[in-house]
Amino acid sequence: MATTRLILVGGFSGAGKTTLLAQAAARLGQRGLSVGVVTNKQDEDLVDTKLLQGQGLAVREVSGGCFCCRFGCLLTASDLLSEDSDKDVLLAEPVGSCTDIYSTVVQPLKEFYASRFSVAPYSVLADPTGLRQVLGVSGRNPLPKKVSDIYRNQLEEADLIILNKVDLLSGDQIVELKALVSEAFPDTPVLEMSALTGNGIDSWLAWLAGDQTDVGRIADVG
Ligand SMILES: Nc1nc2c(ncn2[C@@H]2O[C@H](COP(=O)(O)OP(=O)(O)OP(=O)(O)O)[C@@H](O)[C@H]2O)c(=O)[nH]1
Ligand SMILES: [Mg+2]
C-alpha cells in the first residue's frame, strides 16, 4: 500500500473545519488526487459526514469519542476509505473539543505508522471571535474558562495556526489579530483564510506541500 498523506485540521468548534475540508478535498480532487475524509464527533449525529457525502466525497466517520481515544477507529476508517481505491490524501477533522491530538495521534502516527501515513503539519483553525476571547482582548461574552482552556491548548499544539473567517474582518483587523496571535504563540506560523470564499486555501495547501520559504519542516502533499 502506498503512503497516504494525512492532513489533520483541528481547532475551535464552529471555526470552519468542515468547510475547509470540503473545499480542500475538491481542490485536491481537481489536481487528480484521490481524496478521502474522516470526520469525528462525540455523539452519533455526524452532520459533517452528511454534508461532505452530499458533496460526493468519500467519507468515513469516527464517532463516540475523539480521535485520541478512538485511535484504532481512525486507522480502521482510513482502511475502509482505501478499500475501493488507494487514497493519495486523507483529510481528517478531530472534534472541536479535542486537545492532545499531537501526542496521542500525530506523534504515534509518525512514529509507528510512517510506512502508511505521511502526516502533514498539524493545522489548527480559529475564528476571530473565539480567538479574541482566548487572547483576552474581547470584552464581550467571555468563553467559559473550560472552553477557553481547550482552545488555548489547541493553539499551543498547532504546527500552524489558521485565522479563518477573515472575510468578516477589515484589513487592519486581520493585521492586528495576526500580530496578537504571533505575540502569544511566537514560534507558530499564522496563516489567514476564508474557507467560505476559498481565499487562502491554495496558499495553505502550498504551505503544507513545503512551498513556503520561511518554514522548512514540511513534506509533499502529493
Ligand atoms: N464568514 C465565514 N463563515 C465561515 C467560514 N468558514 C466557515 N464558516 C461558517 O461557519 C459555520 C461553521 O462551519 P463548519 O465548517 O461547520 O465549522 P466546524 O469547525 O467544522 O464546526 P464543528 O464541526 O461543529 O466544530 C458555518 O455556518 C460555515 O458556513 C469563513 O471563512 N467565513
Ligand atoms: Mg465540522
pLDDT at res. 213: 42
State the DSSP code for 182. H
pLDDT at res. 41: 75
Which residue among 8, 18, 59 is best mutated to probe the pocket of ligand 1, counting the most ligand atoms within 8 A of its Cβ? Answer: 18
Q: What residues are neighbours of ligand 2 (ion), with CB under 5 Å?
A: 17-18, 48
Pocket of ligand 1 (CB under 6 A): 13-19, 48, 96, 164-165, 167-168, 194-196
Q: Can you list the alpha helix ranges (DSSP code H) found in the chain?
A: 17-30, 47-54, 71-84, 101, 107-112, 128-134, 145-156, 171-184, 201-208
pLDDT at res. 142: 81
List the domains of the chain with CATH numbers: 4-196 (3.40.50.300)
pLDDT at res. 216: 36
Ligand number with the minimum distance to the CA of 13 = 1
* Alpha-carbon span 24 to 120, nearest angstrom: 14
pLDDT profile of the chain (222 residues), mean per 10? 88 94 95 92 71 86 80 82 86 86 90 92 96 87 88 95 98 97 96 97 94 40 34
Which residue among 19, 123, 124 is best mutated to probe the pocket of ligand 1, counting the most ligand atoms within 8 A of its Cβ? Answer: 19
Question: What secondary structure does DSSP assign to 19-30, as a single string?
Answer: HHHHHHHHHHHH
CA angle 33, 64, 29 (to 5 degrees): 10
CA of 93 to the centre of ligand 2 (A): 7
207 and 215 in contact (C-beta within 8 Å)? yes
103 and 141 in contact (C-beta within 8 Å)? no
Three cell numbers, residue 99: 486537545
Cβ neighbours around 56 below 10 Å, total: 10
Three cell numbers, residue 152: 488555548
- For the whole model, what pTM was predicted? 0.90
* Alpha-carbon span 32 to 14, nearest angstrom: 29
